């Protein structure tokens, strides 16, 4: 039970004289004390893993999910604060340490990903706040010897209505801590009385990030720390045979050259010395079996698996019979490339290993896995490994992997000083864990009225879940991430047949990437729906609307997006409008995009209009922000990105060869939210999932030809 | 030994001649607000001001800075345009992960100091060297426009 074992005396020292109002944000590296000392006698009120109130009046919310731009610190703080009845200006927030209390059930570990955070915490964090508030009220009622029902709370105070007496939460902390936590559920606020939830709140991390004082993992400094940079074997599975470091060691500022099985680390007084040292190494690798893998190898394997055996993943009715009897048969094969994450903050991890303990400062989406890996490498018990999670300068799934923490600990255990490992951008692209390449084959049958009567679909690609969480692979061998936006669609389709041929990518490790299965699925399904509409000679919005059946929320977003985008109005020559409709991560999105394709083939996305029904909204402007950003992230990949392999080596080196969308290339984006009282859906990945299909359909409208291979401006498109 | 004028103070540093200003700021002077993103001047995360102009600190050897004043995100406190820019950023919640934002803000300040009412094309020209993977471009543009309206 680590929560509540932070040294309170230290906290007071950090915060000064105490008092009720604290800055909303403390830098995270300070917020988690380096040691877990048992609290002093006047310990805080900590009725659960998420709320602490100290006698000095400080109110700390411990947030189970990590902040990587998605605004979750603000959203989760709002959930707790709503029920605790405190203002966002009265709290401090902390990143949760590795602990069972913070496990995300849907992900099976303590993790932030899959757009699950708000869905997972919508009830639990409000309950955490409500339990704390209930106990504080009871403590006040006990002190005043009045009925708790005659007390109200407001902004961190309990007030006794009849007498007008008040006590602050801090003044009640010790007494509240002595009360038993309610065994059963506590009442939650009626949503009509929400003060925070549903009302736009500024991001709690904004001021520090704008001032340049927010600490990311890469910004960590420790006494006597040195900086290392790494070259790992650029061919997956290869190992280090020999390194000649004689030139490197002569470079001023180089302190150490360290090796592990598949990588070399040069350590210096600063990154520049380390980098110069790394460049001066003469390394001999045994590249192993993957040294002949090329992009062609990857795609050939996928296309070959379009024939041959596969696992049946989903059936409904007799799809093959329906297609055989259909008036028109439509068929398409779609191909999607390997993708890199390329977050702005290059991969880094700072580690200090001593005989007694291991401290890790890193931005990670999987703190528990990272801690456990360090314990295994160092041989230290898990409670002697202290992981200090930091702001993440872009996750996108990259930091759901912790192999870079493993690597950093393997190097750091060889030295006595704290070692900060920083990868170059080139290393980041060469040794990423990549979004898989996929090939999908779809066959649809239309009846004489242009109605879809059956859909047959084969997915070919790796099963990321089989490596990341093998226990979550379905018993039949299907990775259910691949079913996202594919089995559950916004459409009533009378007959379905879906099978899956698993083909692991040679020469790379594949991983989660923003939008996960939704990004693959929406591109494929929504491209094909457009092809069906074209074959039926029905307007793409109208074709979709007719198929929505019972999905009234889908129809509502489709209609709203079409209206706001002036669907059907005239566009200039060379400009096309495309639509994508999706249900994934528990949210409905309709996206209309306008894309211009010049005579020279230059593609420019002019405008995107998105209608969203994500259920009840916690922080409305952050939903808008996630859609805007998610679309841009998705468009970079859809338009430009492909990781290619030659002789087992990734060819993309930096942002000059892994091109991402820039301001002058970015479209105008309008986001329209639908009022909803449904439970919240996820939002952080939905815009990314929408991007490729909406853009491809718009390009098809502009040029009259289909785009079945990503990236859309690539040679194969 | 080099003497650098950073955020209004002189600093003596003993670093190799080819060491980029970025690493002197981050790893020698302890000013981590200026970020490393690519190391080749492609992403703009390391944007600082040298003599008031936006430059890529990752690609500028510290030895070539000479006595020109260097300003980083940490050195903006007294500056009026900078105050308006950061306010505009907060008003509309521009930031997401925030990693590129010091560079974005330094680029925006340099733009606005030379031209308080930039056109969209001028904003594009000044800002398109700065990548944001979170895709905050629309809000950056809006914030810059709001500063132009406020000053």
Contact B133, B100 (CB under 8 A): yes
CA atoms of A602 and A340, how far apart (whole Å) = 23
Say how far residue A466 (Cα) sits from the centre of its chain: 19
End residue of a domain, out of A422, A451, A473: A422
**Quick one: which of A532, A448, A547, A452 has its CA closest to A700?**
A532
Q: Per residue in B55-90, pLDDT tens?
A: 999 999 999 999 999 999 999 988 999 999 999 999
What is the per-residue pLDDT for A330?
98
A59-63 and A91-95 strand pairing: parallel
Task: Assess if residue A717 is contained within a domain.
Answer: no
- Same domain assignment for residues A74 and A129: yes
Give the count of alpha carbons within 13 A of A409, CB side only. Answer: 26
CB neighbours of A47 closer than 8 A, spacing ≥ 6?
A128, A131, A132, A135, A176, A177, A181
Which residues in chain A touch residue B48, judged by CB atoms under 8 angstroms apart? none
Contact A663 B19 (CB under 8 A): no
What is the per-residue pLDDT for A39?
39
**Strand arrangement, sheet containing A157-160:** A151-154, A157-160, A166-168
The answer to whether residue B46 neighbours chain A at the CB level (below 8 Å) is: no
**Quick one: which of A317, A316, A330, A321 has its CA closest to A444?**
A330
CA atoms of A261 and A233, how far apart (whole Å) = 9
Contact A663 B36 (CB under 8 A): no
Provide the number of structural domains found in chain A. Answer: 3
The H or E element that residue A542 is part of is helix A540-547
Which residues in chain B touch residue A65, judged by CB atoms under 8 angstroms apart? none
- Same domain assignment for residues A224 and A307: no
Contact A518, A585 (CB under 8 A): yes
- Same domain assignment for residues A410 and A363: yes
CB neighbours of B66 closer than 8 A, spacing ≥ 6?
none
Looking at the predicted structure, is the pLDDT value of residue A467 above 80? Answer: yes
Q: Is A648 left (phi over 0), alpha (psi -120 to 50) or beta?
A: left
Looking at the predicted structure, is the pLDDT value of residue A168 above 50? Answer: yes
Contact A495, A322 (CB under 8 A): yes
Dump the DSSP string for A214-233: PPBGGG---TT-EEEEEEE-
From B32, B37, B105, residue closest to A344, measured CB to CB: B37
CA atoms of A613 and A205, how far apart (whole Å) = 26
The fraction of chain A above a pLDDT of 70, given in percent, is: 94
Min Cα distance B71 → chain A (Å) is: 13
* Residue among B72, B103, B138, B146 with most chain A CBs within 10 A, to mutate: B138
- Same domain assignment for residues A205 and A334: no
Tokens 């560079």, residue? B103
From A70, A210, A392, residue closest to B101, measured CB to CB: A210
Contact B130, B107 (CB under 8 A): yes
Contact A61, A80 (CB under 8 A): yes
Beta strands in A614-716 (DSSP E): 645-646, 649-650, 668-673
Q: Per residue in A315-348, pLDDT tens?
A: 999 999 999 999 999 999 999 999 999 999 999 9
The answer to whether residue B49 neighbours chain A at the CB level (below 8 Å) is: no
Integer angstrom CA distances of residue B66 from A16, A607, B54, B76, B137: 41, 45, 16, 21, 34
What is the per-residue pLDDT for A22?
28
The residue-averaged pLDDT of A375-380 equals 98
More confident residue, A17 or A186: A186
Contact B127 A424 (CB under 8 A): no
Chain A from 420 to 479: CB within 8 A of any B CB: 422, 424-425
CA atoms of A251 and A273, how far apart (whole Å) = 7
Which residues in chain A touch residue B99, judged by CB atoms under 8 angstroms apart? 216, 343-345, 393-394
* Residue among A28, A209, A226, A685 with most chain B CBs within 10 A, to mutate: A209
User: Residue B148 — pLDDT band, cuts 50, 70, 90?
Assistant: confident
- Same domain assignment for residues A238 and A147: no
**Cis before A419 (ω within 30):** no
Contact A666 B133 (CB under 8 A): no
Looking at the predicted structure, is the pLDDT value of residue A530 above 90? Answer: yes
Please name each of the domains of chain B with its CATH number: 2-75 (3.10.20.30), 80-150 (1.10.150.120)
Task: Assess if residue A335 is contained within a domain.
Answer: yes
Taking the CA atoms of A77, A79, A85 and A87 in sequence, report the sign of the dihedral they define.
positive
What is the per-residue pLDDT for B78?
84
Tokens 């400080």, residue? A58
Under DSSP, is residue A589 helix (H, G, I), strand (E, B) or coil? Answer: strand
- Same domain assignment for residues A587 and A613: yes
What is the per-residue pLDDT for A43?
65
Integer angstrom CA distances of residue A362 from A147, A318, A345, B15: 48, 52, 11, 27
What is the residue-averaged pLDDT of chain A?
Answer: 93
- Same domain assignment for residues A555 and A655: yes
* Residue among B6, B27, B42 with most chain A CBs within 10 A, to mutate: B27
Contact A45, A37 (CB under 8 A): no
Q: Which domain holds residue A444?
A: 295-339+434-703
CA atoms of A268 and A275, how far apart (whole Å) = 8
The answer to whether residue A221 neighbours chain B at the CB level (below 8 Å) is: yes
Tell me which chain A residue has its CA closest to the CA of residue B136.
A629
The residue-averaged pLDDT of A136-158 equals 97
| Cα end-to-end distance, chain B, whole Å | 41
- Same domain assignment for residues A271 and A200: no
End residue of a domain, out of A163, A182, A211: A211
CA angle centred on A479, ends A478 and A482, rounded to 5°: 110
Contact A209 B101 (CB under 8 A): yes
Min Cα distance B67 → chain A (Å) is: 22
Task: Assess if residue A508 is contained within a domain.
Answer: yes
**Quick one: which of A487, A529, A341, A505 has its CA closest to A438?**
A505
Task: Assess if residue A676 is contained within a domain.
Answer: yes
- Same domain assignment for residues A354 and A476: no
What is the residue-averaged pLDDT of chain B?
Answer: 96
Task: Assess if residue A584 is contained within a domain.
Answer: yes
Task: Assess if residue A32 is contained within a domain.
Answer: yes
CB neighbours of B21 closer than 8 A, spacing ≥ 6?
B4, B48, B50, B55, B57, B58, B60, B61, B62, B65, B70
CA angle centred on A298, ends A294 and A300, rounded to 5°: 110
Task: Assess if residue A1 is contained within a domain.
Answer: no
What is the per-residue pLDDT for A21?
26
Under DSSP, is residue A117 helix (H, G, I), strand (E, B) or coil? Answer: helix
* Residue among B134, B141, B145, B146 with most chain A CBs within 10 A, to mutate: B134
- Same domain assignment for residues A199 and A227: no
More confident residue, A405 or A21: A405
Tokens 């109130």, residue? A53
- Same domain assignment for residues A271 and A198: no
CA atoms of B149 and B143, how far apart (whole Å) = 10
Contact A581, A544 (CB under 8 A): yes
What CATH number is attached to the domain comprising A66?
3.30.365.10
What is the per-residue pLDDT for A15?
30
Q: Per residue in A89-128, pLDDT tens?
A: 999 999 999 999 999 888 889 999 999 999 999 999 999 9
Which residues in chain B touch residue A203, judged by CB atoms under 8 angstroms apart? 93, 95
Tokens 């990775």, residue? A479
From B30, B93, B134, residue closest to A202, measured CB to CB: B93
The fraction of chain A above a pLDDT of 90, given in percent, is: 92
Contact A106, A469 (CB under 8 A): no
CA atoms of A317 and A453, how far apart (whole Å) = 10
Chain A from 277 to 336: CB within 8 A of any B CB: none
Tell me which chain B residue has its CA closest to the CA of residue A390.
B97
Phi, psi of A28, rounded to the nearest 5 degrees? -65, -30
End residue of a domain, out of A211, A241, A274: A211
CB neighbours of A246 closer than 8 A, spacing ≥ 6?
none
Tokens 């470091």, residue? A245
User: Residue A654 — pLDDT band, cuts 50, 70, 90?
Assistant: very high
User: Residue A185 — pLDDT band, cuts 50, 70, 90?
Assistant: confident
Tell me which chain A residue has its CA closest to the CA of residue B32.
A219
The answer to whether residue B13 neighbours chain A at the CB level (below 8 Å) is: no
Chain B from 55 to 114: CB within 8 A of any A CB: 72-74, 86, 89-90, 93-102, 105
For A231-299, what is the HEC assignment? Answer: EECCCCCCEEEEEECHHHHCCCCEEEEEEECCEEEEEECCHHHHHHHHHCCEEEEECHHHCCCCHHHHH
Contact B96 A625 (CB under 8 A): yes
Contact A608, A593 (CB under 8 A): yes
What is the per-residue pLDDT for A105?
85
From B27, B131, B139, residue closest to A227, measured CB to CB: B27
From B32, B95, B137, residue closest to A666, measured CB to CB: B137
Tokens (6 digits) for A533: 């509409």
Min Cα distance A176 → chain B (Å) is: 37
- Same domain assignment for residues A184 and A318: no
Give the count of alpha carbons within 13 A of A117, CB side only. Answer: 24
Q: How many cross-chain Cβ pairs, A to B, lie less than 8 Å apart? A: 182
Looking at the predicted structure, is the pLDDT value of residue A474 above 60? Answer: yes
Min Cα distance A693 → chain B (Å) is: 18
Contact A59, A86 (CB under 8 A): yes
Which residues on neighbouring strands pair with residue A215, listed in sequence order?
none
The residue-averaged pLDDT of A592-615 equals 97
**Quick one: which of A132, A263, A113 has its CA closest to A188?**
A132
Q: Give Rg (Cα) of chain A.
A: 27
Chain A from 619 to 638: CB within 8 A of any B CB: 621-622, 625, 628-633, 636
User: Residue B102 — pLDDT band, cuts 50, 70, 90?
Assistant: very high
Contact A218 B141 (CB under 8 A): no
Task: Assess if residue A427 is contained within a domain.
Answer: no
Which residues in chain B touch residue A219, judged by CB atoms under 8 angstroms apart? 26, 32
Contact A632 B137 (CB under 8 A): yes
Which residues in chain B touch residue A394, judged by CB atoms under 8 angstroms apart? 97, 99, 133-134
Looking at the predicted structure, is the pLDDT value of residue A17 above 90? Answer: no
CB neighbours of A205 closer than 8 A, spacing ≥ 6?
A25, A67, A73, A74, A214, A391, B95, B98
Tell me which chain B residue has its CA closest to the CA of residue A221.
B30
The H or E element that residue A92 is part of is strand A91-95
What is the per-residue pLDDT for A425?
98
**Quick one: which of A289, A391, A349 has its CA closest to A73?**
A391
Alpha helices in B1-151 (DSSP H): 21-23, 80-91, 101-114, 120-127, 137-150
Contact A210 B89 (CB under 8 A): yes
């Amino acid at each position: 039970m680590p929560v509540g074992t932070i040294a309170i005396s230290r906290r007071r020292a950090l915060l000064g004289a105490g008092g009720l109002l604290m800055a909303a944000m403390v830098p995270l590296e300070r917020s988690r004390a380096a040691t877990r000392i048992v609290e002093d006698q006047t310990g805080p009120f900590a009725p659960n893993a998420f709320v602490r109130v100290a006698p000095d009046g400080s109110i700390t919310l411990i947030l189970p999910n990590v902040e990587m731009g998605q605004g979750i610190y603000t959203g989760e703080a709002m959930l707790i604060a709503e029920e605790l009845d405190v203002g966002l200006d009265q709290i401090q927030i902390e990143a949760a340490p590795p602990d069972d209390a913070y496990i995300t059930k849907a992900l099976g570990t303590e993790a932030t990903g899959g757009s699950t955070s708000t869905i997972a915490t919508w009830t639990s964090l409000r309950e955490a706040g409500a339990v704390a508030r209930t106990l504080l009220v009871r403590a006040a009622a006990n002190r005043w010897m009045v009925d708790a029902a005659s007390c109200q709370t407001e902004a961190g105070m309990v007030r006794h209505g009849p007498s007008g007496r008040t006590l602050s939460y801090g003044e009640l902390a010790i007494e509240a801590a002595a009360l038993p936590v309610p065994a059963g559920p506590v009442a939650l606020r009626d949503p009509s009385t929400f003060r925070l939830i549903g009302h736009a709140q500024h991001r709690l991390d904004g001021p520090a990030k704008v001032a340049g004082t927010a600490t990311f993992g890469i910004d960590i400094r420790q006494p006597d720390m040195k900086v290392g940079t790494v070259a790992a074997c650029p061919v997956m599975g290869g190992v280090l045979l020999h390194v000649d470091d004689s030139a490197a060691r002569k470079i001023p500022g180089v302190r150490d050259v360290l090796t592990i099985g598949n990588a070399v680390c040069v350590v210096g007084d600063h990154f520049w010395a380390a980098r110069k040292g790394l460049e001066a190494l003469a390394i001999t690798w045994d590249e192993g079996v993957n040294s002949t893998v090329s992009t062609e190898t990857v795609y050939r394997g996928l296309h070959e698996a379009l024939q041959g055996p596969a696992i049946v993943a989903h059936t409904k009715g007799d799809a093959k019979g329906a297609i055989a009897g259909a008036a028109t048969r439509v068929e398409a094969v779609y191909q999607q490339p390997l993708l890199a994450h390329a977050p702005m903050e290059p991969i880094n991890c700072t580690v200090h290993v001593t005989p007694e303990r291991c401290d890790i400062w890193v931005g990670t989406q999987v703190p528990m896995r990272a801690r456990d890996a360090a314990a295994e490498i160092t041989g230290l018990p898990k409670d002697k490994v202290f992981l200090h999670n930091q702001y993440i300068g872009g996750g996108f799934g990259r930091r759901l992997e912790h192999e870079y923490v493993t690597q950093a600990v393997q190097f750091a255990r060889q030295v006595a000083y704290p070692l900060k490992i920083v990868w170059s951008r080139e290393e980041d692209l060469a040794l990423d864990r990549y979004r898989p390449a996929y090939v999908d084959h779809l066959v649809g049958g239309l009846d004489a009225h242009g109605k879809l009567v059956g859909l047959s679909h084969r997915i070919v690609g790796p099963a990321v879940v089989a490596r990341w969480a093998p226990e979550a692979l379905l018993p039949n061998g299907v990775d259910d991430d691949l079913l996202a936006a594919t089995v559950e669609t916004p459409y009533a389709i009378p007959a379905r047949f879906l099978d899956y041929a698993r083909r692991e990518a040679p020469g790379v490790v594949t991983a989660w990437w923003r939008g996960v299965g939704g990004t693959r699925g929406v591109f494929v399904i929504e491209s094909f729906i457009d092809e069906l509409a074209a074959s039926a000679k029905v307007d793409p919005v109208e074709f979709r609307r007719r198929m929505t059946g019972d999905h009234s929320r889908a129809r509502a977003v489709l209609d709203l997006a079409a209206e706001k985008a002036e669907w059907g109005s005239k566009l200039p020559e060379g400009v096309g409008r495309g639509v994508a409709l999706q249900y994934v991560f528990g949210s409905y999105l309709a996206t209309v995009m306008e894309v211009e394709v010049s005579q020279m083939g230059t593609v420019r996305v002019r405008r995107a209009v998105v209608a969203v029904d994500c259920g009840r909204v916690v922080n409305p402007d952050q939903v808008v922000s996630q859609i805007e950003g998610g679309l841009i992230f998705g468009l970079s990949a859809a338009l430009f990105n492909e990781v290619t392999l030659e002789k087992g080596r990734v060819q993309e080196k930096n942002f000059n060869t892994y091109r991402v969308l820039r301001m002058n290339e970015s479209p105008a984006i309008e986001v329209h939210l639908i009022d909803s009282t449904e439970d919240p859906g996820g939002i952080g990945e939905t815009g990314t999932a929408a991007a490729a299909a909406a853009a491809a359909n718009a390009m098809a409208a502009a040029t009259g030809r289909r785009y079945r291979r990503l990236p859309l401006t690539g040679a194969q498109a | 030994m080099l003497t650098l004028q950073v955020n209004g103070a002189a600093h003596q540093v003993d670093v190799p001649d080819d060491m980029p200003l970025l690493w002197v700021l981050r790893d020698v002077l302890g000013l981590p607000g200026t970020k490393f993103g690519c190391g080749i001047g492609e992403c703009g995360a390391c944007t600082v001001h040298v003599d008031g102009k936006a430059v890529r600190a990752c690609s500028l050897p510290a030895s070539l800075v000479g006595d020109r004043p260097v300003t980083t995100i940490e050195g903006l406190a007294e500056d009026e345009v900078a105050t308006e820019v950061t306010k505009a950023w907060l008003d509309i919640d521009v930031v997401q992960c925030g990693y590129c934002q010091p560079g974005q803000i330094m680029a925006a300040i340099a733009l606005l100091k030379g031209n308080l009412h930039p056109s969209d094309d001028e904003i594009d020209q000044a800002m398109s060297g700065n990548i944001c993977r979170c895709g905050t471009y629309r809000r950056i543009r809006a914030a810059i426009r709001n500063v132009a309206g406020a000053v």
